[in-house]
């Protein structure tokens, strides 16, 4: 709202359902300056935001507005997870007469429009528009978007990493979502070793715009892997084998000391893994920087980056960030980025960044929005999820004479670094051309359909003149 130029006094009501303290702490991360519920936050150039927490949003809205009838004409959601088994919110709960419920790219829930008492599943009703496969149009982050966070502890760390990337001093991989997986050490080690393999191997061929020698020199730059999110979440510790040991400590022990952290290590697999680490000189090439090491002194980040040599990797535990800083790190990245969910997919598709997604094999969409998924990128989609980042180490290292997961990932990273003359790199740039268009973004399309449903009523396509129908729908076809 601040970026859009709104000014005034705003009530921000946060529905925390059951855990008030957890929700309050989350808002503190997202909005530095926020202190507690019922406290106001002033932006000198915009206005005042008053944050209120509540268990039942409907009851809160009704009591604030002093009415049992819909107090507002219109409401909108951009995708919502309320609680397990329920990803829905009703107009009654929001105290509105009309409601649009959007979902991110290829989300499993329906995209609904409530016009009074009528409920329309627009993705099902307008199948030819492929609304579920479209993204929200997102403006890309720049320096101005992170300025309000200049006084926060992570700001200098993020800024230093991004400046070094933009200056060509380092290559950057931004990773979020590994903390949602049962074994973040497994994911981070596969990713780290994939980057190290990409640094060591020869550059991909067929470069018309960049010479192979120049490209190889760029690949051999020091790299920084930024791990976002709470890597030591209590729920994660309960369900996996990491127990009480911090993730970054285990990662250091695993990569640098080649010590197994699993209780069920297969001897032959571990010997093969140790041999791989030795051949690639991983212990000499990897450095791990925990958040507690730099948080009080962000200069530690700069010092660590400056100490890196060619073909080395610094893994930085960044933790949780305000969204603008989070987005800024993704935009600065020049190595394939990592994410888990569909909200970050929206951001990455708008940017046209190569990526790994910690999810299903169909990780990459077709360039034709209405097409079925097929071809080479399906194979890469398999690699970049189940067969690559999330592969089980000891199963993949047991056999002899096979290509290891990091080597496969390294090939993908090199292909993505190839510039516009490389088909893999070009594919992701084409994704931006496909999805980063405001006029065909999900919000724009559904707002126009809502307008038509409200103006003309049920079965409006059969009622209005052909020219009027064409005017409404033609830009989305």
SS3 409: helix
Q: How many CA atoms lie within 13 A of 336 on its CB side?
A: 32
Average pLDDT over residues 336-350: 90
Residues 162 and 245 placed together within one structural domain of the fold: yes
- Report whether 317 contacts 300 (CB < 8 A): no
For residue 429, what are the domain limits?
A: 146-435
- Report whether 254 contacts 185 (CB < 8 A): yes
Tell whether the model's pLDDT for residue 330 goes beyond 80. yes
Residues 427 and 446 placed together within one structural domain of the fold: no
Residues 395 and 426 placed together within one structural domain of the fold: yes
Residues 371 and 447 placed together within one structural domain of the fold: no
If one counts the domains in the chain, the total is 3
What is the per-residue pLDDT for 65? Answer: 63
What is the per-residue pLDDT for 114? Answer: 92
Tell whether the model's pLDDT for residue 210 goes beyond 60. no
- Report whether 36 contacts 24 (CB < 8 A): yes
Average pLDDT over residues 22-44: 79
Q: Does a structural domain hold residue 62?
A: no
Q: Does a structural domain hold residue 68?
A: no
What is the per-residue pLDDT for 361? Answer: 53
Question: What distance, in Å, lies between the first and last C-alpha atoms of the chain?
Answer: 31
Tell whether the model's pLDDT for residue 206 goes beyond 50. no
Burial, 279: exposed, middle or buried (Cβ in 10 Å; 0-12, 13-18, 19+)?
Answer: exposed
What is the per-residue pLDDT for 145? Answer: 81
Would you state the structure tokens that stand for residue 107, as one six-digit string?
């989300």
Q: Does a structural domain hold residue 153?
A: yes
- Report whether 224 contacts 172 (CB < 8 A): yes
What is the per-residue pLDDT for 222? Answer: 96
Q: Does a structural domain hold residue 475?
A: yes
Centre a 10 Å sphere on the Cβ of residue 41 and count the other Cβ atoms it contains.
17
What is the per-residue pLDDT for 152? Answer: 79
What is the per-residue pLDDT for 208? Answer: 42
Residues 108 and 205 placed together within one structural domain of the fold: no
What is the per-residue pLDDT for 455? Answer: 87
pLDDT digits (tens, 9 = 90+) for 376-416: 666 666 666 555 677 665 666 777 777 788 888 888 888 88
What does 62-115 look like in DSSP terms, one character per residue? Answer: HHHHT-SS--EEEEEES----BTTB----HHHHTEEEEEE---TT-SS--EEEE
Residues 105 and 7 placed together within one structural domain of the fold: no
Lowest average pLDDT, out of 37-46, 311-320, 330-339, goes to: 37-46
pLDDT digits (tens, 9 = 90+) for 262-320: 555 566 677 888 888 999 999 999 999 999 889 888 889 999 999 999 999 999 999 98
What is the per-residue pLDDT for 172? Answer: 98
pLDDT band at 440 (very low <50, low <70, confident <90, very high): confident
Q: Does a structural domain hold residue 61?
A: no
More confident residue, 231 or 6: 231
What is the per-residue pLDDT for 281? Answer: 93
Residues 201 and 260 placed together within one structural domain of the fold: yes
Tell whether the model's pLDDT for residue 196 goes beyond 90. yes
Residues 279 and 406 placed together within one structural domain of the fold: yes
Tell whether the model's pLDDT for residue 10 goes beyond 90. no
What is the per-residue pLDDT for 194? Answer: 92
Chain position carrying tokens 């930024």? 226
Q: Tell whether the torsion through CA atoms of 50, 56, 58 and 60 is positive or negative.
A: negative
Distance CA 351, CA 328 (A): 11
Q: Does a structural domain hold residue 159?
A: yes
Residues 81 and 118 placed together within one structural domain of the fold: yes
Residues 125 and 152 placed together within one structural domain of the fold: no
Distance CA 244, CA 237 (A): 7
Lowest average pLDDT, out of 122-136, 213-227, 244-258, 427-441, goes to: 244-258
Q: Does a structural domain hold residue 220?
A: yes
Average pLDDT over residues 133-143: 88
- Report whether 449 contacts 99 (CB < 8 A): no
Largest pairwise CA distance in the chain: 74
Helix (H) / strand (E) containing 155? helix 153-166
- Report whether 311 contacts 304 (CB < 8 A): no
pLDDT digits (tens, 9 = 90+) for 74-105: 888 887 665 555 556 788 877 889 999 998 88
- Report whether 384 contacts 424 (CB < 8 A): no
- Report whether 335 contacts 195 (CB < 8 A): yes
Residues 182 and 297 placed together within one structural domain of the fold: yes
Q: Does a structural domain hold residue 394?
A: yes
Tell whether the model's pLDDT for residue 150 goes beyond 70. yes
What is the per-residue pLDDT for 236? Answer: 54
Q: Best-predicted range by mean pLDDT among 25-39, 96-110, 419-433?
A: 96-110
Residues 314 and 400 placed together within one structural domain of the fold: yes
More confident residue, 268 or 176: 176
Average pLDDT over residues 431-457: 88
pLDDT band at 205 (very low <50, low <70, confident <90, very high): very low
Tell whether the model's pLDDT for residue 157 goes beyond 70. yes
Domain end point (choices 401, 417, 435): 435
What is the per-residue pLDDT for 284? Answer: 93
What is the per-residue pLDDT for 251? Answer: 86
pLDDT band at 260 (very low <50, low <70, confident <90, very high): low
Tell whether the model's pLDDT for residue 45 goes beyond 50. yes
What is the per-residue pLDDT for 234? Answer: 60
Give the chain's mean pLDDT: 80
């Amino acid at each position: 709202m601040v970026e859009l130029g709104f000014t005034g006094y705003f009530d921000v009501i946060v529905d925390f359902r059951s855990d008030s303290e957890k929700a309050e702490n989350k808002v503190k991360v997202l909005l530095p300056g926020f202190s507690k519920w019922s406290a106001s936050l002033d932006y000198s150039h915009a206005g005042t935001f008053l944050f209120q927490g509540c268990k039942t949003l409907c009851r809160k809205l009704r009591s604030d507005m002093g009415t049992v009838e819909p107090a507002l004409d219109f409401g909108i959601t951009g995708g919502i997870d309320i609680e397990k088994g329920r990803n829905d919110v009703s107009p009654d709960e929001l105290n509105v007469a009309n409601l649009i419920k959007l979902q991110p790219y290829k989300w499993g829930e329906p995209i609904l429009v409530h016009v009074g008492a009528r409920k329309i599943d627009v993705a099902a009703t307008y199948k030819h528009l492929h609304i579920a496969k479209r993204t929200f149009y997102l403006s890309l982050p720049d320096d101005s978007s992170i300025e309000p966070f200049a006084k926060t502890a992570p700001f200098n760390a993020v800024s230093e990493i991004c400046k070094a990337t933009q200056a060509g001093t380092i290559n950057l991989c931004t990773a979020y979502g590994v903390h949602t997986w049962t074994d973040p050490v497994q994911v981070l080690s596969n990713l780290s070793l994939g980057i190290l393999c990409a640094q060591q191997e020869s550059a991909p061929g067929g470069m018309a715009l960049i010479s192979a020698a120049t490209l190889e020199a760029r690949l051999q730059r020091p790299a920084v892997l930024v791990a976002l999110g709470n890597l030591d979440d209590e729920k994660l510790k309960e369900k996996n084998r990491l127990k009480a040991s911090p993730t970054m400590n285990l990662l250091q022990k695993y990569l640098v000391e080649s010590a197994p952290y699993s209780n069920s290590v297969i001897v032959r697999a571990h010997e093969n893994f140790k041999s791989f680490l030795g051949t690639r000189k991983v212990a000499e090439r990897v450095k791990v920087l925990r958040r507690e090491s730099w948080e009080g002194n962000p200069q530690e980040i700069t010092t660590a980056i400056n100490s890196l040599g060619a073909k080395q990797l610094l893994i930085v535990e960044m933790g949780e960030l305000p969204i603008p800083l989070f987005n800024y790190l993704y935009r600065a990245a020049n190595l394939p980025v990592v994410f888990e969910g569909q909200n970050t997919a929206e951001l990455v598709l708008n940017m046209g960044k190569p990526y790994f997604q910690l999810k299903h094999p169909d990780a990459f969409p077709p360039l034709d929005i209405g097409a079925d998924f097929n071809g080479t990128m399906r194979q890469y989609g398999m690699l970049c999820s189940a067969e690559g980042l999330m592969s089980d180490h000891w199963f993949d290292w047991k056999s002899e004479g096979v290509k290891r997961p990091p080597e496969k990932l390294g090939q993908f990273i090199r292909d993505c670094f190839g510039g516009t003359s490389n088909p893999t790199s070009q594919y992701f740039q084409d994704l931006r051309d496909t999805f980063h268009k405001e006029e065909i973004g999900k919000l724009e399309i559904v707002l126009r359909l809502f307008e038509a449903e409200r103006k003309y009523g049920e079965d409006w396509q059969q009622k209005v003149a052909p020219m009027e129908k064409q005017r409404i729908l033609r830009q989305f076809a």
